[in-house]
Structure 1
């Protein structure tokens, strides 16, 4: 696994971010928890490998006492970028005084559920039909997700950064 460094995105990252978001989300817009976000308008962290190559990105927002991970994607699975980006996002959250790190994924995304739970995030809510509602805003959202699992629901995961449930 390559050594990964995380830094805030700079204007020179625009093309790499645009390509990653096109591959992952079909463009710069995501619809999650009944809200539409333009990933170009939110703060981003960028992962680069030891050669300086773009390895992934995390887009976030601070709201409601927490840091929401709006988008997290690596250029290749298993390169360490996702873990490094999540750790950097936690540092941003802590510096901002946020008490939790949270995100939403979909019911079909078993790989993401495994990844996030192994890093201490817990499922705290399920929103049945949230993806069905999102299709009204973004019709390109597929009906079948990973492993041909019907795509309908959002799952909210979070890790407390303060208080009794803080991961050791």
Structure 2
């Protein structure tokens, strides 16, 4: 299986919207760097393809010399798609001279937490009860996942 990664293009919008909606219930997500809900489908990003089919997506936001990963979705999990997308956004951050590549995940997302730490991200902050603030803006976020209450945001970073 060969994974190719490229910048998102305007004609990717329908597929990007579908992936984000299936994974996150829409394209609007809380982006901590901006402190507000952002339509991440409109952010710069990369798509991964396998045999011409969308296999994954990453979107990001540049701000204050740092790059925040706003969303990461592997449509084909466990096949290196997430790593390929992280490699692309890491290279873009380094190319732009960013001093920090970072992201937020929630306390229930243990699979992602393991994945990011294996990649080299370091857990740098716990934002206690941050999901109360996020739910005030996006009430559709569930209260729990896999029996784990979704309460906190975990901040991870990687120095490019």
Q: Tell me the TM-score range normalised by the shorter chain.
A: over 0.9
How many angstroms apart in 2 are the aligned matches of 1:94 and 1:132? 34
Q: How many residues align?
A: 158
Residue 148 of structure 1 deviates from its aligned partner by: 1.3
Give the deviation of 1:76 after TM superposition: 2.2
User: CA offsets per residue over residues 135-154 of structure 1, 9 Å max, x none?
Assistant: 11000000002x21000000
Normalized per residue, which structure has more strand? 2
For normalisation by structure 2, the TM-score amounts to 0.95
Instruction: Give how far 1:24 is off.
Output: 1.1
**Does 2:10 match 1:11?**
yes
Q: Which runs of 5+ in 2 are unaligned?
A: none
TM alignment of 1:28-107, pairs within 5 A: 28-33=27-32, 34-49=35-50, 51-107=51-107
Query: 1: CA distance between counterparts of 2:96 and 2:155?
Result: 21
Q: Distance in 2 between matches of 1:80 and 1:69?
A: 18
Structure 2 residue aligned with 1:136:
136
Residue of structure 2 in register with 1:165 after alignment: none
Which deviates more, 14-23 or 114-123? 14-23
| Root-mean-square deviation (Å) | 1.0
